[in-house]
Structures are given as structure tokens and as C-alpha cells.
Amino acid sequence: MPLFITVLIIGILSGAEVDLFIPSFPELQKVFNLSPFMVQLTLSANFLSYCVCSLFAGALGDRFNRRIVILGSLAIFIVGSMLCVGAANYVMLILGRFLQGVGMSGPAILAYVIIADEYPLEKQPAMLGMLNGIVTLAMAFAPVIGSYVNLYFNWRGNFVILLLLGIISFLAGYFVIPNHKGDPSISLSPTTYLPLLKSKKLMIFIMSIVFLGTSYWTFIGMAPIFYMEGMNVDLKHFGFYQGIIALAFSIFSILSPKILTAYGFKKCLFYSIVFCAISAVLVLINTLLSVKTPMLITAPMVILAAAVVLPVNILYPIALEVLDKSKARTAALLNALRLLMTGALLEVISYFYTGTFVQLGLSIVILTTLSMLLIRHIFNKNWAHLDKPSTGKVEHYT
């Protein structure tokens, strides 16, 4: 339990690290006399360093003691947070945000890998569900908390909270995270990911998760524009539509341990595919009919938000086991592909956006369909050992 709580704290930190300080944008713009682009750069610098360094963190996590990598990364995050808290100018603020991204890459990638090291495979989907649910709730409430902190304690207050969370995570990790011997033969070169990319089975697992996750996060990323510009939803009511989707994901994640226990992995995965299909059909109907009714757009996304939970929770832990001594790199590769695909797709959809649901709807349908086809392939091959999840082993396939 102490290890799970430690990983949960780190998860909340990684989830809140971006959303908590976003409400401070207007004040930052005034204090440092910044253009909108320069304010946005405080987010982009953090995201870029996090995305790039996550792949490096994956290789470090497989080669060296994962505990040391996590603690070292958290130390960098703490230094970055201190720079942000004491920033006297814009350059210091950007440097702090960059270091926060560098420092967060290790814990964000390796925290769950520690769970995979210490707990049997059959217990991991339930634990992942609890983690995802609580972290998603934290992400949903982070902007609200950030708004009040900024109101009463100015923009530095949000960075003080991140600094304190970073220190708590470091101390908890120091006393709780166990040592895990790495493999010195693992290269730190980018070529260390080639065996993973060449593994057909691993890439099928990874892409089934990436496609499903991207379909959800692409909608979340485009929702503000489509709801408020395309359907004329005001900011007050937009929070309701966005919130109910996030709430469905969170509640279903938190309940997933009981659902998995009651129905088993095989039935849960099968019915999740069914509900993904229902959601995709409803989204396609909305797309073809050019629907602009907020509730009709939101309803299938609530179904999808609930339906993606169990496939990800079941398949993610198994994906980490496909190749020997590759858990950290697998987690890093999966995360990097999800971030890159989501970012690229959002740029494409934004470029071709015409105020309708067409581009976004078709993207969701295509991604969900691709994921369902890959999951069906895994299901038919019984690669996930759904009939015997307690074995804790997955046969290797390259």
C-alpha cells in the first residue's frame, strides 16, 4: 500500500503539473509584459522537454536502478520549480518550466513500471484503473484549484504547490520505492528502441492502446473550439460537457477493480469493444448528419470515455511484459507515440477545421476502428492470456 500511495502522489503531480498553472496565464502576461505566444511558450517548453526526455528516461530506467532515476528526475523537477517560484524575469521562468518537463519525464514514465515490477500481472489492471481514475480527477480539478490559488496568492502560489508536491514525491520515493537492478547491456542510444519497433506483437499492443487513447484525447483537445465556436456554448456550460466526459472516465476507472473481479478480463475486454463500436457508430451518425446539438455530441463521447478504460487497464500491463528487460522503454515508447500522434492530429484537424464536426468525428471513428481491429486480433490470438490472467507471464514474440 505505501508503494501504491507513492505512485499515486507522483501521478497526481504529473497530471497537475500542466493544468495547475494555466489559470495564471493572464497575470503572467501582465507581470512580464508578454505576448500570447510567449505565454504559451511556458507550456510548450515544458511539453517539448517532457516528450523528448521521456524516451531517454525509458532507456535509463531499463539500464540503471529505476529508483535512482526517479529520484534524480524529481530532484531536477524540484530545482525547476524553485526557479519558477523565484523567477525574476521571463528567461528564468522558461528555464524553470523546461527543467520541470525534464524532471517530470522520469517519474511519469517509471512510476507505474515500479508497480509492474512489484505486483503480479493479474493485480495490475485494477491498480492502473484506480491510479487513472484518481489522477484524472486531479487533472479535472487542477485548473479550479489553480484559479483560486492565483486569486489569493498570485501566480507564484501555483508553483509553490508544485514545488511542495515535488518535495513530497521525492521524500516518499526515497523511503518507499524499492531498488531494482538494471541491465548494463541496455544502450542509451536511440537505437535501443529498434528491437521494440521491430516486435510485431509489441507494436500491436502499443498501437491498440495509442489509437484508443488518441481518439479520446483528440476530442478533449478540440472540444473547447468546437463547443464554444462551432456550437456557441458559453464557457460556463462548456465546463459541464467537458466535466461529464472526464467524470465518466474517472468513475469507471475507479470502479474498474470491482468490474474486473466480477466479470473477468475476457468479458470486460469483449464488452468494451462492443461499447467502443456503439460509440463509433453514434459519432459517425453525428458526423454524417452534421449534428450541432451539444448533448448529442457529448453522449457518444461519454460512452467512449467509459469504454476505453478497461482495454487500456488490461492491455497496458501486459504490453510491458512482452519483451524481456524492456518495461521502461515500452512505457516510454507508448507514451511518446501517444503524445506525438495526439499533437500531430490536433494540428491537422485545427488546420482543416471549418466549424463542423466532420474532421473531428471522422478522426475519432477511424482511430477507434483501428484500435478495435487490433484488440480483436489480440483477442483471437489469446496473446493477452485472458483465460488465465494469473500466470503473470506473456510469451515473447518478435
- Whether 361 shows a pLDDT value over 80: the answer reads yes
**Can you give the pTM of this predicted structure?**
0.81
The owner of cell 519558477 is 84
Residues 41-64, mean pLDDT to the nearest whole number:
86
More confident of the two residues 236 and 388:
236
More confident of the two residues 25 and 211:
211
More confident of the two residues 38 and 398:
38
Do 353 and 225 contact (CB within 8 A), yes or no?
A: yes
Which pLDDT tens digit goes with each residue over 59-71? 999 998 999 999 9
Phi-psi group of 325: left, alpha or beta (phi > 0 → left; psi -120 to 50 → alpha; rest → beta): left
Q: Helix, strand or coil for residue 101?
A: helix
Do 358 and 227 contact (CB within 8 A), yes or no?
A: no
What CATH superfamily is the domain 2-177?
MFS general substrate transporter like domains (1.20.1250.20)
Mention every residue, 6+ apart, whose C-beta is less than 8 A from residue 47.
Answer: 18, 101, 339
Q: Residue ranges of the domains in the chain?
A: 2-177, 195-384
Which pLDDT tens digit goes with each residue over 231-285? 888 766 777 787 788 888 888 888 888 898 898 888 888 899 999 999 999 999 9
- Whether 393 shows a pLDDT value over 60: the answer reads no
Q: How far apart are CA 84 and CA 184, in angstroms?
A: 35
CATH ID of 195-384, from 3.30.1130.10, 3.40.50.2300, 3.20.20.370, 1.20.1250.20: 1.20.1250.20
> In the prediction, which pLDDT does 387 show?
54
- Whether 192 shows a pLDDT value over 70: the answer reads yes
240: cell is 459541464
More confident of the two residues 20 and 160:
160
pLDDT-above-90 percentage for the chain: 37
- 232-237: Cβ within 8 A, 24+ apart: 233/294, 237/294
> In the prediction, which pLDDT does 355 show?
81
* Stretch among 36-40, 260-264, 365-369, 393-397 having the lowest mean pLDDT: 393-397
Q: How far apart are CA 269 and CA 267, in angstroms?
A: 5
Do 103 and 79 contact (CB within 8 A), yes or no?
A: yes
- Average pLDDT over all residues of the chain: 86
Do 113 and 331 contact (CB within 8 A), yes or no?
A: yes
The owner of cell 507505474 is 112
DSSP 228: I
- Whether 396 shows a pLDDT value over 60: the answer reads no
